Every structure is written in structure tokens, then in C-alpha cells.
Structure 1
């Protein structure tokens, strides 16, 4: 069921495996491998997700990308929380990323030790919201994605 939901989230790709609520995939062109999950709570609009991707052609490894479940208010901060750790993300209207590779690495380390993570901000209507993700299987999916692009 989870694998089916993840396949609906993204166009057809090479499935590398499903681990807990996370899936790992490889996209052949341009080559990228990624672990991806949907928030725990279903949303009516949009297709929110959290992903950790490796882009061998660009020399990027374990890069965070969040698609928010709602459009955020202009100038609203986006904060990722994993346990006691907090990370301020850079954000567009409905997407967010770590500000640099060092923060990406710290986030992935926190994901490996965490049980859940939430992404919090303010919607364009002024209401606060958070998208919450279970982390069971995340570390294995991140590793599977990294292996899917290893040596390429």
C-alpha cells in the first residue's frame, strides 16, 4: 500500500525498495537517486513530500527537499524539527531546502536518530501548520538511494 502511494507521488522510476513509510527510487535521466515519504496525515490539496536525494552529475549527496502541503505566507520562516534539533530552511512558495551541504548532513544525521520530523510554517491565510513525517525506514531508504547511484 505504501509503495503504491509513493509510486502515485512520482512518475514511473526504478524502485529500489520500500522501507517503513519511505521509498527509494532511481531516476535515469538526469541520474538521481532519492528516498521519499509523504506526511503522516493525508492532505486534500497538493502532493507534499520530504526527500533526500543524490545527484551524481552535480556532485550533490543527501540533499533535502520538502514540498509543503500548503503555500506559505511571504516571509514566513520554515523550520524543520527532529527531536530537540531545529533547522531553519530556505523556502520558495511551497518548497523548502537546507541552506547548505553542512545543514543537509546535520539533517540526515538527525533523521537517522529520530522517530519523527515536522516542517512548520505559516500558510498564506495566516494559519500555522506543520507537516509531520514518520522516520521509520528513512535511514535504510537513504542508504538504498545512495547505493542506487554509487559508482555512477
Structure 2
């Protein structure tokens, strides 16, 4: 299940990044709930960690493939950029809310992905992920369905450590 979902995520990640010249991603290592991956693109290397939710709500709807990704692109000066990837288009004017322990982060929506609204808060979200045990991601689909996803943060620190020196 995780490998199939990861392969789908890799294809989605490449397509959403507009990286037509990117090579197929390679899994570096699996760290409990988080996998570390890399691929070559336009002469540089992109590394990222990825996980799938342990729970999806409401159970009665088709969520598609859902992922949370943290990417590292040294050639583009991007370090630990969190992104929520949904298997459906989200409501255009909505926000995605990420909660870890008592810390809340707001992500802006574009199509089926969401990024931290205030880029200056990206390090705080990543730090909260490293220190937390579970993460909840809440979104609203284009149809207006409120969704919620729970992720295990087990292995996130080791996975991020593995991609720290991405090159």
C-alpha cells in the first residue's frame, strides 16, 4: 500500500512541479511512517520526505491519494518546504489547517495542493513535526466536503536528517 501510494505521489509531485525533464524518483530509505526520496531535475537534485495518512475522515467519501511532503531543493534555495497533496481539487478560497499538538498552521490552496501561507512559518511547522507524534490536516473539497487526515510523525526526524545534505 505505502509503496503504491508513494509511486503515485512521486508522479503527482513531478507533474505538479512542472518538471517535465525530471527523472523518476528513487526511494533513499524508509523511516517508519516517512519515506525519503530524491530525483534529478534540470541538472540539480530534489529530495523530499513523504507520508500517507493513518486515518481519513469522513470514511464515506473517496479521498483519492493523499500525501504530506516536505521537500528540499538546494539548487533553488528551498529548504524543507511542507506541502499537503490531496487526491481531489480543494475549494479555491479555502485554507488548509495543520495542527500538531497545540500548534496551528494555515496553508493556502491551489488546485489539489496547499503550502504554508506565510513562508516564514515553514521552519516552525517542520520543527513542530519533528517534536510531535501526530499531525492533523483539515481541508475542504471543491464540492464543499470537510475532510480530515491524521498522520503519524514517527520517523519524520530521521527522514529529514537523511535529506539534509541533498545534492
TM-score between the two structures when normalised by the length of structure 1 = 0.86
**Deviation at 1:102?**
2.1
Relative to 1, partners in 2 of residues 1:123 and 1:9: Cα closer, same or farther, differing over 3 Å? closer
Relative to 1, partners in 2 of residues 1:100 and 1:77: Cα closer, same or farther, differing over 3 Å? closer
Q: What is the 5 A alignment of 1:108-123?
A: 108-123=126-141
**Deviation at 1:74?**
2.8
**Contact 2:81–2:122, Cα closer than 8 Å, also in 1:** yes
* 5+ residue gaps, structure 2: 12-23
* 5+ residue gaps, structure 1: none
Deviation per CA, 1:27-66, whole angstroms, max 9, x where unpaired? 1224100010111136845322111111011011101111
Structure 2 residue 58 is the aligned partner of structure 1 residue 40? no
- Return the structure number with greater relative CO, CA threshold 8 A, min gap 6: 1
Alignment equivalent of 2:69, drawn from 31, 37, 51: 51
Q: What is the 5 A alignment of 1:56-135?
A: 56-135=74-153
Give the Cα separation in 1 of the matches to 2:162 and 2:41. Answer: 18
Q: Cα RMSD over matched residues?
A: 2.0
1:6 maps to which residue?
A: 6
| Count of residues in Structure 1 that have an aligned counterpart in Structure 2 | 149
TM-score between the two structures when normalised by the length of structure 2 = 0.79
**Contact 1:82–1:110, Cα closer than 8 Å, also in 2:** yes
Give the Cα separation in 1 of the matches to 2:83 and 2:92. Answer: 19
